[in-house]
A and B are shown apart, each in its own frame.
Chain A
Amino acid sequence: EAGVTQFPSHSVIEKGQTVTLRCDPISGHDNLYWYRRVMGKEIKFLLHFVKESKQDESGMPNNRFLAERTGGTYSTLKVQPAELEDSGVYFCASSQPGQGSLETQYFGPGTRLLVL
């Protein structure tokens, strides 16, 4: 079974440009999460989709970030316009809801974004 995949693996852009990151969750997983690790700092939650709906977007840093999950399959995270502080690694994770208990989140390899 294929795991969570992310594209691209690396992206280098200039300040002010737009970048779109893509995440393909494990097939059949309703939950999709985005996380970010800014250079040298902790991994932090950005938002959570349940199917195509945004369940929790409390971690989104500002309105330059837009996440979508049309059709409840893959998700995109667009940064527009990108700023220097947006550099870091963006991780996606997916899970299937547990039955009243914890579900294991499966992480993708991440997209390394560098804004110059």
Chain B
Amino acid sequence: KQEVTQIPAALSVPEGENLVLNCSFTDSAIYNLQWFRQDPGKGLTSLLLIQSSQREQTSGRLNASLDKSSGRSTLYIAASQPGDSATYLCAVDNYGQNFVFGPGTRLSVLP
């Protein structure tokens, strides 16, 4: 059974800092991994999708990496801004089965 964990559970940084969020999964036989952001009372916003054959994906200030063999993914946020404050979730897709979400990392970027 796939299990997904995220570290840290919460993170508070001053504006402008670069930061890394971590996602770990127990079963490396994944189809893809997706990073989302969640704001209170809103639907999940897709940030990046990494296929199992890829090593990383970039979008603006965001960079996500994937190391399937070690069961890890990282989300790198460059030059953080207060608007980045949200909870960041990773979700692992296991070949046709339902996807599994991590518990999330709550990020606060202080002005």
Chain A interface residues (CB < 8 Å from chain B): 31, 33, 35, 40-48, 55-56, 59, 97-98, 100-103, 105, 107, 109-110
Contacts and interface: CB of A to CB of B under 8 A. Distances in A.
A41 B106 CA distance: 26
Contact of A48 (B42, B87, B106): B42
B42 A101 contact: no
B60 interface: no
Interface residues of B, number: 19
Nearest to A97: B41
A105 B91 CA distance: 13
A34 to B, nearest CB: 8
Given A42-B34, A43-B34, A102 B87 contact: yes
Interface stretch (B13-21, B43-51, B72-80): B43-51
Secondary structure type dominating chain B contacts: strand
A57 to B, nearest CB: 10
Contact of B43 (A56, A100, A110): A56
Interface string B81-93: 0000001000100
Contacts of A31: 41
14 contacts: A33-B43, A35-B44, A43-B36, A44-B46, A45-B44, A47-B43, A48-B42, A55-B41, A56-B42, A59-B43, A102-B40, A102-B104, A102-B106, A110-B98
